[in-house]
């Protein structure tokens, strides 16, 4: 297969893409890395279940909330310079995590790392789009999309390897060393910035930060607290209202943080929607499949990461091919919508087919991955090609914010459905454990062992409570009872898995349905070409054909 001339890179552009992708891979890997280390972290720091959640989610919340102003800061002060600052602070926050004394301090370092990541992520993409020749941007974006799409699994893989030989502290040492190397490499690339930034939009910044923080916090807490919890509802409703206020503020601002009129451009709007639903699907799927691999198949964290390699390979290969395919078909619409359709079909199959072995799961993951890969790079290209070159940092931040919000929605949907479905079906199994352990304790007492009998009766209530909480905690009960009562342990294992299987399938079907519905919407709103008609080229709201924008698909 011979690629068009526009899909080749010179040495300078290739080095720029390499340096940018090294930085973004670290940021994306850090989003998932600590999931595998949480049990060890909980033992060392004394973190409870809620604190363990926020050791992971604190990073995500800070990253998502600060992306938009961070992108604008890069446009204003220089994208390379802001990237270096972000890498330095990311390294400091990572090193600080090594010396924490408790879970609260660790959560604080994770929030600081998330804030630093917000400076890193949008600048990596905006450096590529502003620093590469027009005809080479598409391949640069394709590579960036492939790395960003598979970075989470790389995080699982690297941390799984580290934990095989070292403590959880090695994860943060690795991040600190990687950020130092990346920061030094950044001095070898060029920089760019907005030639006329205007005044910094403080009201818009406050509205955007609070709106995104409210929505993301509500989505992250919904699976644990429930959608009817007052705090969850307050954050979601408040976040949405602040988002509306943000639009009003930006329309009235002479120097907006983000010119919301860009959303009137169909390529920009459909690209943003596509990115959001892709990450909704992929992170919702990760939430489900990782539980399946570790709790049902019994895989270790490292084995689980290796098992997800078909997804990484599919996303990587088809992200690289998708922009080329869009050119050959001369259609942004059908490539983006086709990707959503394939991922929707894959998720639907995940819900319809009982996955009893790895190879069944592997080919379903491959279908989902091909869909995500097909839609990923063209959607990002559509966003960046319709953003003025002076505002590439903000355009990249919109792309990244869509990813973060989509991922939070996907996890919220999957997590809520699994939690509610499991709780609705596990009662009989939990009651059986209580009854049989209580009876065993009473028998011990009758046999002249009151101390042992009382301990077994106390164990009965504790076991029932753990079984009711989640499949993971039910597995702990099974492991503890295996030597004491193998028959009861088998019954608990079968009952808890049955309580998990149905909501797993239902959540997969819901995610698949969202993607299939998104296919229809994307077919309707996505233009044929990535640059269609006039786009905004200045803060004054002027609309004209912009010769500086990537015209990868705008050809006859």
Tell me the C-alpha distance between 399 and 7, whole Å: 22
In this structure, what is the dihedral angle of CA atoms 378, 384, 385, 387, given to the nearest 10 degrees? 150
Tell me the C-alpha distance between 385 and 394, whole Å: 12
Report residue 8's pLDDT band, with 50, 70 and 90 as the boundaries: low
Structure tokens at 367: 């279908």
Structure tokens at 222: 């919904």
Nearest to 125 by CA among 137, 107, 111, 109: 137
Ordered by start, the domain boundaries in the chain are: 10-192, 424-501
Looking at residue 393, its pLDDT comes to 82
Looking at residue 106, its pLDDT comes to 92
Residues 260, 250 contacting (CB under 8 angstroms): yes
Looking at residue 362, its pLDDT comes to 92
Structure tokens at 21: 């992708």
Looking at residue 547, its pLDDT comes to 40
Give the pLDDT confidence of 46-75 residue by residue, as tens digits.
777 677 778 888 898 999 999 999 999 998
Global pTM reads: 0.85
> 132: helix, coil or strand?
coil
Nearest to 286 by CA among 6, 109, 507: 507
Q: How far is CA 555 from the centre of its chain?
A: 34
Tell me the C-alpha distance between 291 and 400, whole Å: 26
Q: How far is CA 436 from the centre of its chain?
A: 42
Structure tokens at 250: 């930006």
Give the pLDDT confidence of 69-115 residue by residue, as tens digits.
999 999 889 999 999 999 999 999 999 999 888 888 999 999 999 99
Structure tokens at 520: 């229809």
**pLDDT of 408 higher than 70:** yes
Residues 200, 68 contacting (CB under 8 angstroms): no
Looking at residue 231, its pLDDT comes to 94
Cβ neighbours for 250, distance < 8 A, ≥ 6 positions apart: 201, 204, 256, 257, 258, 259, 260
**pLDDT of 534 higher than 70:** no
Looking at residue 7, its pLDDT comes to 53
Q: How far is CA 403 from the centre of its chain?
A: 7
Tell me the C-alpha distance between 189 and 232, whole Å: 44
What integer is the mean pLDDT of 487-513? 91
Helix (H) / strand (E) containing 173: helix 169-186
Nearest to 528 by CA among 268, 333, 324: 333
Report residue 371's pLDDT band, with 50, 70 and 90 as the boundaries: very high
**pLDDT of 522 higher than 90:** yes
Query: What is the number of alpha carbons within 13 Å of residue 433 lying toward its C-beta?
Result: 32
Residues 137, 384 contacting (CB under 8 angstroms): yes
Tell me the C-alpha distance between 155 and 32, whole Å: 6
Looking at residue 532, its pLDDT comes to 54
What integer is the mean pLDDT of 502-529? 92
| Backbone dihedral angles phi then psi of residue 535, each to the nearest 5 degrees | -130, 160
Cβ neighbours for 252, distance < 8 A, ≥ 6 positions apart: none
Residues 364, 310 contacting (CB under 8 angstroms): no
Give the pLDDT confidence of 297-348 residue by residue, as tens digits.
988 878 888 888 888 888 888 888 887 887 777 778 889 999 999 999 999 9
Tell me the C-alpha distance between 466 and 360, whole Å: 31
Tell me the C-alpha distance between 438 and 499, whole Å: 23
Tell me the C-alpha distance between 171 and 357, whole Å: 31
Tell me the C-alpha distance between 457 and 292, whole Å: 31
Give the pLDDT confidence of 472-485 residue by residue, as tens digits.
888 888 888 887 77
**pLDDT of 214 higher than 90:** yes
Place of tokens 């893409």: 17
Number of neighbours of residue 400 by Cβ within 10 angstroms = 29
Cβ neighbours for 519, distance < 8 A, ≥ 6 positions apart: 337, 340, 341, 344
Looking at residue 88, its pLDDT comes to 96
Runs of H (alpha helix) within 230-331: 230-252, 266-291, 301-307, 309-329
> 127: helix, coil or strand?
helix
Looking at residue 242, its pLDDT comes to 96
Q: Which CATH superfamily is domain 10-192 in?
A: MFS general substrate transporter like domains (1.20.1250.20)
């Amino acid at each position: 297969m011979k690629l068009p001339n526009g899909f080749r890179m010179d040495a300078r552009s290739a080095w720029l893409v390499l340096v940018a992708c090294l930085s973004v891979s670290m940021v994306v890997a850090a989003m998932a890395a600590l999931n595998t280390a949480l049990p060890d972290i909980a033992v060392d720091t004394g973190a409870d279940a809620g604190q363990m959640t926020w050791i992971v989610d604190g990073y995500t919340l800070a990253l998502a909330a600060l992306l938009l102003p961070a992108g604008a800061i890069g446009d204003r002060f220089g994208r390379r310079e802001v990237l270096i600052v972000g890498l330095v602070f990311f390294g400091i926050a990572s090193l600080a995590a090594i010396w924490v004394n408790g879970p609260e301090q660790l959560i604080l370092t994770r929030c600081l790392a998330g804030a630093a990541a917000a400076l890193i992520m949008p600048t990596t993409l905006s450096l590529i789009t502003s620093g590469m020749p027009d005809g080479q941007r598409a391949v640069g974006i394709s590579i960036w999309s492939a790395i960003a799409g598979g970075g989470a699994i790389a995080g699982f893989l690297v941390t799984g390897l580290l934990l095989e030989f070292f403590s959880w502290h090695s994860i943060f040492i690795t991040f600190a060393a990687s950020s130092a190397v990346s920061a030094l490499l950044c001095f070898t690339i060029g920089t760019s910035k907005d030639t006329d930034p205007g005044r910094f939009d403080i009201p818009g910044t406050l509205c955007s930060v609070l709106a995104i923080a409210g929505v993301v916090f509500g989505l992250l807490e919904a699976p644990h607290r429930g959608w009817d919890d007052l705090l969850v509802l307050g954050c979601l409703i408040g976040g949405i209202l602040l988002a509306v206020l943000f639009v009003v503020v930006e329309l009235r601002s002479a120097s907006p943080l983000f010119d919301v009129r860009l959303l009137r451009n169909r390529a920009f709007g459909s690209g943003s929607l596509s990115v959001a639903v892709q990450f909704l699907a992929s992170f919702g799927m990760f939430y489900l499949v990782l539980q399946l691999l570790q709790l049902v198949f019994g895989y270790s964290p490292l084995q689980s990461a290796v098992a997800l390699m078909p997804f990484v390979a599919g996303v990587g290969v088809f992200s690289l091919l998708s922009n080329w395919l869009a050119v050959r078909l001369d259609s942004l619409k059908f490539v983006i919508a086709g990707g959503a359709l394939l991922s929707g079909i894959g998720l639907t199959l995940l819900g319809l087919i009982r996955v009893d072995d790895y190879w069944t799961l592997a080919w379903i993951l491959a279908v989902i991955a091909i869909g995500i890969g097909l839609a990923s790079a063209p959607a990002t290209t559509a966003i960046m090609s319709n953003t003025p070159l002076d505002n590439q940092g903000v355009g990249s931040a919109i792309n990244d914010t869509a990813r973060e919000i989509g991922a939070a929605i996907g996890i919220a949907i999957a997590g809520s459905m699994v939690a509610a479905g499991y709780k609705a079906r596990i009662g009989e199994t939990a009651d059986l454990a209580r009854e049989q352990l209580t009876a065993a304790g009473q028998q011990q007492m009758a046999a002249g062992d009151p101390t042992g009998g009382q301990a077994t009766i106390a164990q009965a209530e504790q076991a029932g409570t753990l079984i009711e909480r989640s499949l993971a905690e039910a597995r702990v009960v099974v492991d503890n009872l295996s030597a004491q009562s193998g028959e009861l342990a088998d019954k608990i294992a079968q009952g808890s898995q049955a309580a998990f299987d149905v909501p797993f399938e239902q959540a997969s079907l819901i995610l698949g349905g969202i993607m299939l519905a998104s296919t229809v919407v994307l077919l309707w709103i996505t233009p044929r070409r990535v640059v269609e008609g006039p786009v905004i080229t200045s803060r004054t709201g002027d609309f004209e054909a912009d010769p500086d924008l990537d015209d990868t698909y705008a050809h006859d």
